[in-house]
Amino acid sequence: MILVTEAQSAARVTHELAFDAMRHAFIAAVGADAFSFPVVLAHGSDPQNRFTIKSAAGADLAGLKVGAYFPSNDARGLPRHASTILLIDQSSGRIGAVVEGSTLNCYRTAAADAVATDALARRDAAVLTLFGTGHQAGYEAQAIARIRTLSRILVVGRDPSRATAFATMLQGQGLPAEVADPEPAVRAADIIVTATTATAPLFDADWVQPGTHISSMGSDAQGKQELPPTLFPRARLFCDLPAQSARIGEFQHATPATPLTAIGAVLSGASEGRQSLKDITVFDSSGISLQDLHMAEAILAAMV
């Protein structure tokens, strides 16, 4: 069994590696030989400490990821989040590799956004509005800046001091960030990314202008919500896995008959993405295990 520690995987991951892995994963996910199994939502002995198990199989990969969220770690000075990927040796059924990947998970999630945004946003999109000022939001900004030339990044946060500190951090990374209020930020946006733990819409659907692309990155469980459902009839809707998105992703708030397109079908050429400059496109990322398996595979290859 191969063991890749957190330090080893974090030392080798890059936005480019993650982008390529996510593109491969999304295309693999729409293949006839791809299977994404039901998500297990669980908790530790202390119910506030939660973990999720996502598993999948593809043509060449099978395995699972355990993603943990332990608020009790605050008292120990440890991160709340942890992520571990297990690749199954398909010749024996034993664990072929264990890849610790908390940092990988941040890159993977941001790369999923970047791949979808690259496929769906206008080529001239230059203004990014970013809802969220947490750890993940910084990765999202960096990933989008790789695939579009951004003239402005409008940061929207509930806490003004945190929003200011976050924008200052992005400025230190060479990104054109500034703090903004929700309505003007949405109205000015070419791209909107939501990276929050919200359980109610973050903005009004009427603020969204024709031609905008939106990526919802935070809805991955029942009850979570970042977008106004009244936006959906005006938009073209895409996601990582339609059945999962409709169950635990942002599109749990859409009507059952709402058409959803897997982003992998767009990337493979089987379905259309943006059809006009005025289209509003929405991508929902609820997170699928094939993303994690392809990230682990990419890291193992980088270590050779």
Single out the catalytic residue among 54, 65, 224, 278: 65
- 57 in the Ramachandran plot: left (φ > 0), alpha (ψ -120 to 50) or beta? beta
- The question of whether 65 is a catalytic residue gets the answer yes
Tell me whether residue 107 is exposed, middle or buried, using C-beta atoms within 10 angstroms of its C-beta: 0 to 12, 13 to 18, 19 or more. buried
Angle between helices 289-302 and 102-120 (to 10 degrees): 110
In contact, 19 and 115? CB cutoff 8 Å: yes
CB count, 10 Å around CB of 192?
28
Q: What residues are labeled active site?
A: 65
